[in-house]
Structure 1
Amino acid sequence: REDNSRAIRIYEQSGYRKIGREPGYYEDGATALRYEKTLRGDIPVATKVPFYQQTCEFTCGPCCLMMAMANFEPGFVPDPVMEIRLWREATTVFMMSGPGGCEPFGLAVAGHERGLSAEIYVSFHGALFLQSVRSQDKRRVMELAQVDFRRRAELYGIPVNYRPFAIDDIRTAIAEGKLVLVLISGFLMFGKKVPHWVLAIGDDGDHILIHDPWVEDERQETILDAANIPVPYGIFMNMAQFGRDGLRAAITLGKRDRQ
């Protein structure tokens, strides 16, 4: 029950995460909360894709990009210095509050410049993440940064699909040996309505497997809780949108043939 604070505290301290609400679920009309916890057994799910935990709140995109780089370039080892370097290369500079996150064109350009193939899916034209930014000066800086990313993406010949991606786009990319950087709302993952990047690394026929670089230390999470997370297709597509406009964005990443 939503009003059972003691039970909620016990579940959250035990590693459960809230994934939804069911209004009017109980006979007295009270709302029920839905929680989930991934049970992995004694043997962790194997994956060839290295996992890297973000060290800053705003570097989820660069950390996902580094995991892809480590997958396609075995000699590459992610570290906090590269984490910040990639963030500086792909950031919108500002966000709703604090340092900016990263947007799809900037991440695709950074990946291309590191030798990866990249293809962008974005559900509408124009600058992203501006809805909650009230300062005109900040909005101007964010818009200019994104104009630069788009010009460079065009210069590099990075394909851009101006449409919402479908689950089949993700599944096809994974079947081709690619990884997919996917924008989600952080609400279902950690209870905050913020844009967040995860890396889609696998497909078992019912679930998309993801690496989530954000590890909730306050909830005693470990890497095992954030790596190889199986997300049912329907829930994945529900997560993979952000904001009032339902923005969908993804970047497929692969190993680029050397010229």
Structure 2
Amino acid sequence: MQPQQPQQEQRETPVKIVVVPFDPDTSATQLRRLGRHEVPERWHRVDRSVHAPHIVAVPGDDGADWAAAALVTARPHTAYLKIVDAVGDVSAAVQAVVAHARGRGLAQVKWEGWTASPEVAAANGFTPLRPPLTPAGNAEGPEAGYVRWLRDGLVTEPPYYGQTTHFTCGAVTALLAQTHAGVLPHDALDRQAELTLWRDATNFPACEPVGLGVAVRRAWPSSPVTVHLDVDGPVLLDHYPDNEQEWRALLQRTSRTGAGHIGVPIDSRRLSLTSIRSAIDRHEHVLLLVSLAGMQGFDVPHWVLCHGAVPGAIVVEDPWASAATGDTWVDAHLLPVPDSSLDTMSAISADGFRGAVAIGRPQQRDA
């Protein structure tokens, strides 16, 4: 995907919109009249309630029946809407969703490619997303996806790769950053690379900021790395019993020693959202530790990659998608998160510390 460039606001024909919550009994008769019976069936296969599912519909000429409808969802505390499917007059349904998103001041609309063809998507102003590089059997969701940006900004598309374990998010975000920077070829982003980098960075099983920063610098010596951690001492250990905390704390102290030996600075000042935006402007990448409580409903520390920005939102890659809630790689890829939401998500644990790893542009080509 080419960088998003400033463009004139597209003028679209005003359309009447009906927005209703989606539940198992939502307007079943209305949907059946629109055909494509297998589509509403897919809508009911998972519990999407955590992502505020709703129907955006276009009334027919008689005002009673619908001429078109789309199932729309989104992760909470984000700046996008996702079309799962559109039925009836597809273009009218999509136009209604775009108008609905503009009315909410959102940055983006995505469209899962279950039934949408590239031609229909393009005719409605959507650009194809790169298919995920995740190994077969690990990628959840449709084979194709599409995106339409509603705000200007500089956003280039990295490849998408979903973590293949519950604990390799830190390694995957680092690999995505280096692939996006051109340091790592796309065909080298695979499960072997994922597990190899995780093994060097892990604090068993998670990756804490200092260990991850040291592992990145060891893997790519020409890439400047700075660890941002505004707490002095071990992190991400509170949920372990004392005897489990002790040896993990020792490993974290060893990582700090290693950081000093190979020249990885540890900045103890709190990393601001303004600083993250400045790094993105310099074509650098920020691996940011967040809690999934806001987006997924469970408070688990998790690494995401900050790599783009639009007015009011940072664009991240999230290597995790929750298939049980209808969340797919289309949600997790090129995901705009409002600055205020990201600021809240990245205050980790009861102490509210912030951890990040900033990766600068390579000074030379690594072997």
TM over 0.5: yes
Structure 1 residues 132 and 10 mapped into 2: Cα distance closer, same or farther (>3 Å)? closer
Q: Over residues 35-67 of structure 1, what are the superposed CA-to-partner deviations in whole Å (9 max), with x where a residue is unaligned?
A: x99632533266332221111111111110110
Q: TM-score, structure 1 length as denominator?
A: 0.82
Task: Give distance in 1, aligned partners of 2:327 and 2:48.
Answer: 15
Question: Is 1:129 the equivalent of 2:232?
Answer: no
Task: Give distance in 1, aligned partners of 2:218 and 2:227.
Answer: 15
Which residue of 51, 61, 85 maps to 2:196? 85
User: What is the aligned partner in structure 1 of residue 225 from structure 2?
Assistant: 118
Task: Give distance in 1, aligned partners of 2:227 and 2:74.
Answer: 33
What displacement does 1:137 show? Answer: 2.5
Q: Over residues 73-123 of structure 1, what are the superposed CA-to-partner deviations in whole Å (9 max), with x where a residue is unaligned?
A: 142521111211111111111xxxxxx210111111111112222111111
Task: Give distance in 1, aligned partners of 2:217 and 2:75.
Answer: 35
**What letter is aligned with 1:225?**
D
User: What is the aligned partner in structure 1 of residue 118 from structure 2?
Assistant: none
**What letter is aligned with 1:48?**
E
Structure 1 residues 210 and 10 mapped into 2: Cα distance closer, same or farther (>3 Å)? closer
Larger radius of gyration: 2
SS in 2 for 1:40: strand
Task: Give distance in 1, aligned partners of 2:318 and 2:357.
Answer: 15
What displacement does 1:179 show? Answer: 0.7
SS in 2 for 1:258: coil
> What is the total number of aligned residue pairs between the two structures?
234
State percent identity of aligned pairs. Answer: 29
Q: Over residues 118-153 of structure 1, what are the superposed CA-to-partner deviations in whole Å (9 max), with x where a residue is unaligned?
A: 11111110011122211x321121111111111111
Task: Give distance in 2, aligned partners of 1:74 and 1:81.
Answer: 14
SS in 1 for 2:336: strand
Task: Give distance in 1, aligned partners of 2:108 and 2:211.
Answer: 32
Contact 1:47 1:228 in 2 (8 A): no
Task: Give distance in 2, aligned partners of 1:108 and 1:10.
Answer: 36
Task: Give distance in 2, aligned partners of 1:40 and 1:258.
Answer: 37
Question: Is 1:201 the equivalent of 2:271?
Answer: no
Question: Is 1:109 the equivalent of 2:214?
Answer: yes
> After superposition, where does 1:163-182 map in structure 2 within 5 Å?
163-182=269-288
Task: Give distance in 2, aligned partners of 1:56 and 1:38.
Answer: 29
Unpaired segments of 5 or more residues in structure 2? Answer: 1-22, 27-46, 54-72, 79-105, 112-125, 128-146, 149-154
Superposition CA RMSD, Å? 2.7
What displacement does 1:19 show? Answer: 4.6
Contact 2:290 2:301 in 1 (8 A): yes
- Could you tell which deviates more after superposition, 209-218 or 69-78? 69-78
SS in 1 for 2:200: helix
**What letter is aligned with 2:227?**
I
Contact 1:183 1:250 in 2 (8 A): yes
Which residue of 63, 78, 97 maps to 2:172? 63
Q: TM-score, structure 2 length as denominator?
A: 0.59
Contact 1:186 1:195 in 2 (8 A): yes
- Could you tell which deviates more after superposition, 113-122 or 194-203? 113-122
Answer 1 or 2: higher relative contact order, Cα 8 Å, separation at least 6: 1
Question: Is 1:239 the equivalent of 2:345?
Answer: yes
Question: Is 1:40 the equivalent of 2:101?
Answer: no
**What letter is aligned with 1:252?**
A
